[in-house]
Structure 1
Amino acid sequence: MAAFAVTYSYIESTLPERDHHRPGHVEFLRALFEDGTLLTSGPFNDDGIPGALLIIQGEDADAVALLMNGDPFHAHGLIAERTVRRWNIIYGG
């Protein structure tokens, strides 16, 4: 399995809907973490565009994108932009 960096970008106007769907989003990610698919994730904490970084294990970028379509944030159209890029881990797991 390869590692993929998945980035989410949000727009501020979706914050109320993201708050509403956050429990489902967290549960979706928790399940991926518990089965070893999600290696790590978290929101960006700078003053730039709100978003998040997720490191996902998968066969290829298409499979990871398909998997991440199950995230309630994606299913409800709350992600302004999503990228999926193969990431070569040198140090760490």
Structure 2
Amino acid sequence: MPTFVVTYHYADDSDERRAQHRPAHVAFLRRLHDAGVLYMSGPLDAEPPRAVLVLEDTDRTALQERMSEDPFFVNELIATREIAEWKVFFDPRRSDR
């Protein structure tokens, strides 16, 4: 299954609204993890504020549809979202890499 890196660039002045929607966002991420799609995620220590998620999904279209259900996306807390396929060379979780 392809691996993807998703980068969220948060909307300007969205800190308070992100805090408000964070419980639903975390529940969404937990569902992705439980489904075997999300490997890891978290905010970057950078300006402007953004976050990175590493996921595996069947293809880019399926991932885009899935990520469009994120409460942060639904509530327009993400100004831009970048999705890039990552050609993983080494992954200690998998013996085939």
TM norm structure 1: 0.92
Indicate the percent of aligned positions where both proteins have the same amino acid. Answer: 38
SS at match of 1:64: helix
In the alignment, what sits opposite 1:15? 15
Q: Which has the higher helix share?
A: 1
Alignment of 1:28-39 (within 5 A): 28-39=28-39
Q: 1:11·1:49 contact (CA, 8 Å) conserved in 2?
A: no
One-letter code aligned to 2:16: P
TM norm structure 2: 0.88
The 10-residue stretch of structure 1 (34-43 or 64-73) with the greater mean CA deviation from structure 2: 34-43
SS at match of 1:21: helix
| Pairs aligned (count) | 92
Rg larger in structure:
2
CA distance in 2, matches of 1:67, 1:3: 14
**Tell me, which stretches of 5 or more residues in structure 1 are unaligned?**
none
Q: 2:11·2:76 contact (CA, 8 Å) conserved in 1?
A: no
**Tell me, which stretches of 5 or more residues in structure 2 are unaligned?**
none
Deviations 1:18-63, CA, capped at 9 Å, x for gaps: 11000000010011112210011111013x2101100111122121
Structure 1 runs of 4+ off > 4 angstroms?
none
SS at match of 1:31: helix
CA distance in 2, matches of 1:80, 1:12: 8
Matching of residue 42 in structure 1 with residue 23 in structure 2: no
RMSD (Å), alpha carbons: 1.1
CA distance in 2, matches of 1:55, 1:17: 24
